Chains A and B, each alone.
Chain A
Amino acid sequence: MDIEALLKLLKEELLKVLGESYGDFKTETKKDVEAFLTLSKVKLERWTGLLQSGDLTPEDYEWLLKSQKDLLVLNALYQAGVSKLKLGHLKNKIIKTIMNTVIASIV
């Protein structure tokens, strides 16, 4: 099976399906789909090979694909959390600098 062709097909299908539900977020949806497919490429290749050889059943294959989607959700949460932590660090540094400067100028 040509994985590149499969990925292209999947991208088109995902954008079509997601576009119907999340039309207002077309750019974000496209980014999410691309990130999902990039991260998933190696796994998709391996799982497709295992499906072809009969080592995975179609049900196993579908379960793993869905698990990859759930993993993408977790990854998005992780990235959002890390960004929030970084912004929090920045806020704390600004507060600390202001406090030090004010204290130094008063004392």
Chain B
Amino acid sequence: MILKTSITWSKILRKSLFVMAFVLTLSSCQSLKTAIFDQYSYQQAISIKVESLNLMDDATQSYDSFETEVEGLMLELQKMVEYEKNKPDNQVSYAMWNVLANADKNLLAGFFKRWKEDGQLSKVFKDEAKLQISEALDLIIKYEAQKNKTNETNILNFLGTN
């Protein structure tokens, strides 16, 4: 009787150890971790999109008249890049913001750089560039919106880190 109980418990223990080892292996997949949905990031992305597209409409006029507004927007953009940079498991969002904020690339910061250099841009060019930048910001917004939002995910992410 005692021997039978001992064997049963031994089997349960072995199974439990196997399951625990499997869960630990699975949860240690660091590369699969992604920062959870961040309301602040989402709102800021929408805010930067609206402000940017509005300011781009003025690019048919002299840059000098809008220098303060452009510098203010670029500061907001830099703050956002820093915010995204310091969030854990957030490499994709950070990389996306970096492309947008890089003045040597041809998206948001690159557009304002060109406006500054040329002084004034044509309406046709401005309209086409607006479509490109709107599409770029939509990708960032869509990605943030798809991140996990539930507390259950927080718990599972926690389990994954411990």
- Verify B128–A56 contact, CB threshold 8 A: yes
Q: Report whether B99 and A91 are in contact in the complex, using a CB–CB cutoff of 8 Å.
A: no
Q: B55 contacts the other chain (Cβ, under 8 Å)?
A: no
- B-side interface residues, number (CB < 8 Å): 44
Q: Mark B66-108, 1 if CB is under 8 A from A, else 0.
A: 0000000000000000000000000011011001100001110
| Chain A interface category by residue count | 35 or more
A89 to B152, alpha carbons, bound, how many Å? Answer: 11
B116 at the interface (CB under 8 A from A): no
By secondary structure, the B interface counts as helix
CA A92 – CA B36 in complex, angstroms?
A: 13
Give the segment of A2-10, A14-22, A25-33, A73-81 that binds chain B. A73-81
Contacting residues, chain B, for A78 (C-beta < 8 A): 92, 96, 139, 142-143
> Are A95 and B23 in contact, CB atoms less than 8 angstroms apart?
yes
Closest to A53 in B: B124
Chain A positions within 8 Å of B124 at CB level: 50, 55-56, 60
Q: What is the minimal beta-carbon distance from A103 to any residue of chain B, in angstroms?
A: 11
Shortest distance between the CB of B36 and any CB in chain A (Å): 10
Inside 8 A of B7's CB, which chain A residues have their CB? none
B156 touches A92 (CB 8 A): yes
Interface check B39, CB cutoff 8 A: no
Sample 12 A-B pairs with CB under 8 A, ordered by A number: A56-B128, A63-B106, A63-B110, A74-B136, A75-B139, A77-B95, A78-B143, A81-B143, A85-B146, A88-B33, A91-B160, A95-B26
